[in-house]
Amino acid sequence: MEFMESQVEEVIRCMKCGNCRETCPVFLITQDESQVARGKIRLIKAVIDRQLELTDRFQDKIYNCLNCNACVTTCPCGIEVDELITAARAGMVNAGKPLPGAQARVKANVVVHMNPFGEPREERGSWLPAALQTPRLSPNLYHAGCAVSYATSRTGKALIRLLQAIDFDFTSMGSQERCCADPYFRMGEQTLGRELVEQNIADYKRLGVETIFTSCAGCLKAFKKHYGDTFRVLHVTQLFASLLKEKKLVLAKSLPKKIVYFDGCDIGRHSNVYEEPREVLQAIPGATIVDFPANRENGRCCGGPLMPSHPDLAKRIAAERIAEAKVMGVDMIAVACPTCLVNLKEGSRLVEGAPEIHDVIALVHRLAGVK
């Protein structure tokens, strides 16, 4: 059985130092050695050495990972654990190992409906204004993403009203928009992921797109990692920061609140976007902007990627972040990722007196005075 043979050298570089134990959100909750990077790498090596089969238990350990990359920031050897986990998942797929239940459902939903939730594709753009339900030629494309289209469309509506109010030229794929392919790559379905990427690139080129901007951090990561240099890719907060500097966007209303910005993993460690969201928040009149003790590349994951497969664990991880913010005495947690928004709100149910949780886009829309 060929399994990750090209990654053998990377696997054996692990020093078993245990630094990852201090940063892994899953391990900090479960205290299970097999749930931390060091333990997972040991399991992977055992399979490579044919000392362990591709059992369901092994599979569960490999998929029960946030892919948050916190372990990479503390690894003295610089091992790209996220790449090893993804390669292990792809290795199981290539070996014919059926996907676990949650991932199998997500795969089926993306294949049939082009979104991981299984919602009708023809309704994907139903929340958009009529002018944006049909794509047109434009150098700027707004990719809403699956979460915004089906779960947090209020955020997308706020963004669109804001951009239309300042006459920013852009188009949307409407209900023709497909998933960015990130779910495929996360679960190890590399071939399906690459095919979907090529389909999307072809569509965008036909519209003359030069810049893609998105409000979904997972989509941002996918575009940056899997779409090459074909397009300029921005998170909406980066677009906002630029528009604020150019005075095309002005936050006129005051918000005398103490706000902490939450560094999501996909927008942060995976996409290296740290300062622009903070610049946007710092432009809010009257607001005091603070950071978590562990911030930027050291920020702690909200647990969101585990919502489909381990919802209780995801919620407990989120509650840890909420409790930390409460101790800081903040009024509000600002996020720039729909997954973080949903899961942190779930976690807040476990914390009495939890701070408010808001998307940066919704805050900007409200404070810019756009109706």
Domains and CATH numbers, the chain: 5-94 (1.10.1060.10), 101-242 (3.40.50), 250-367 (3.40.50.11810)
- Determine the Cα–Cα distance for residues 35 and 135; give it in Å rounded to an integer: 44
* Residue 327 Cα distances to 189, 258, 330, 331, angstroms: 41, 13, 8, 11
Place of tokens 């381990």: 310
- pLDDT at residue 104 greater than cutoff 80: yes
Average pLDDT, integer, range 263-280: 97
- Binned at pLDDT 50, 70 and 90, residue 357 comes out as very high
Phi-psi region of 145 (alpha: psi -120 to 50; beta: other; left: phi over 0): left
- At residue 47, the pLDDT reads 92
- Give me the phi and psi of 290, to 5 degrees please: -130, 170
Mean per-residue pLDDT for 298-311?
94
* pTM of the full structure: 0.95
Distant-in-sequence, close-in-space partners of 172: CB < 8 Å, separation ≥ 6: 125, 128, 132, 133, 135, 141, 142, 143, 144
Residue 176 above 70 pLDDT?
A: yes
Q: Predicted confidence band at 7 (pLDDT cuts at 50, 70, 90)?
A: confident
SS3 313: helix
Measured in degrees and rounded to the nearest 5, phi and psi for residue 67 equal 55, 35
In the chain, pLDDT over 70 holds for what percent of residues? 99
Q: Tell me which residue has tokens 């044919």.
A: 50
pLDDT tens column, 195-217: 999 999 999 999 999 999 999 99
- Please answer whether residues 145 and 212 qualify as being in contact, where contact means their C-beta atoms are separated by less than 8 angstroms: no
The predicted pLDDT at position 15 comes to 85
pLDDT of res. 102: 92
Is the pLDDT at 2 greater than 80, yes or no? no
pLDDT surpassing 80 at residue 188: yes
Cα separation, 307 vs 313, whole angstroms: 8
Distance CA 365, CA 346 (A): 24
**For residues 115 and 180, what is the distance between their CA atoms, to the nearest angstrom?**
9
Q: How confident is the model at residue 1 (pLDDT cuts 50, 70, 90)?
A: very low
Structure confidence at residue 371 as a pLDDT band (50, 70, 90): low
Which residue is associated with the tokens 């188009």?
Answer: 171
